[in-house]
C-alpha cells in the first residue's frame, strides 16, 4: 500500500507542478498580445511573429496542463448517470472505461506525438509563415503533455482499483 501511495502521490506532484508552472505562461501571452496591439495600432508597426508565438504558447499550456486538470477532477464529464452512482460504482465505471477507451487513446496519442516530435527535429520542421519558428519544441511539448496525462490517468486507475477492491481511498 505504501508503494502505491508513494507512486500516485509522486505522479500527482509532477502533474500539479508542471500544470502550475506552465499556467504562468499565460502572463507572457498577455504581455505579448498587449505589445502587439500597441505596436499595431499605436506605432503602426505590427510584428509577423507575436500572434503565432501566442498561439503556440497557449496550445502548450492546454496540453501540458491536462494532467493537472485530471488530477483535480476538473475535466468536463456528463454526469447524467455517473453522478448518481455510488463512489464504488463510479470507480468501476472509470476502471472499465480506462481499459476500453483510455488505453487506446493514450497509445495512439503518445506513439503518434512522440514519432511526430522526433521527425520534426530530424527534418528541422518549421511553420509556413514569414517568421517560420521550429516546430520541434511545440511537438515535443505535446508529446510530453500526453505522457503526463497518461501517467496521471494511471494514478487515477490505481486509486479506483484500490477503492473497488478495498472500499477505501488510497
**End-to-end Cα, the chain, rounded Å:** 8
Where along the chain do its domains lie? 2-166
Confidence grade of residue 28 (pLDDT, cut at 50, 70, 90): very high
Q: What is the DSSP letter of 83?
A: G
pLDDT for 78 equals 74
State the helix-helix crossing angle for 25-37 and 50-71, rounded to 10 degrees: 160
**Rounded CA Rg of the chain:** 20
pLDDT for 80 equals 83
* Structure confidence by residue, pLDDT tens digits, 46-66: 999 999 999 999 999 999 999
Residue 6 has pLDDT above 80, yes or no: yes
**Cell output for 103:** 488505453
State the helix-helix crossing angle for 103-122 and 136-166, rounded to 10 degrees: 160
The residues pairing with 134 across neighbouring beta strands, listed in sequence order, are 126
Please give the mean pLDDT across all residues of the chain.
93
pLDDT for 77 equals 75
Residues 97-112: what's their mean pLDDT? 92
Amino acid at each position: 500500500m505504501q508503494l502505491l501511495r508513494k507512486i500516485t502521490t509522486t505522479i500527482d506532484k509532477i502533474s500539479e507542478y508542471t500544470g502550475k508552472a506552465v499556467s504562468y505562461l499565460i502572463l507572457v501571452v498577455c504581455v505579448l498580445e498587449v505589445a502587439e496591439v500597441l505596436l499595431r495600432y499605436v506605432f503602426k508597426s505590427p510584428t509577423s511573429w507575436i500572434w503565432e508565438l501566442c498561439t503556440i504558447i497557449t496550445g502548450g499550456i492546454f496540453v501540458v496542463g491536462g494532467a493537472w486538470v485530471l488530477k483535480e477532477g476538473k475535466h468536463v464529464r456528463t454526469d447524467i448517470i455517473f453522478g448518481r452512482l455510488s463512489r464504488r460504482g463510479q470507480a468501476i465505471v472509470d476502471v472499465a472505461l480506462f481499459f476500453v477507451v483510455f488505453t487506446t487513446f493514450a497509445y495512439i496519442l503518445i506513439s503518434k506525438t512522440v514519432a511526430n516530435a522526433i521527425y520534426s527535429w530530424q527534418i528541422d520542421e518549421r511553420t509556413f509563415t514569414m517568421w517560420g519558428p521550429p516546430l520541434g519544441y511545440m511537438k515535443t511539448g505535446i508529446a510530453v503533455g500526453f505522457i503526463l496525462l497518461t501517467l496521471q490517468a494511471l494514478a487515477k486507475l490505481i486509486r479506483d482499483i484500490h477503492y473497488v477492491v478495498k472500499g477505501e481511498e488510497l
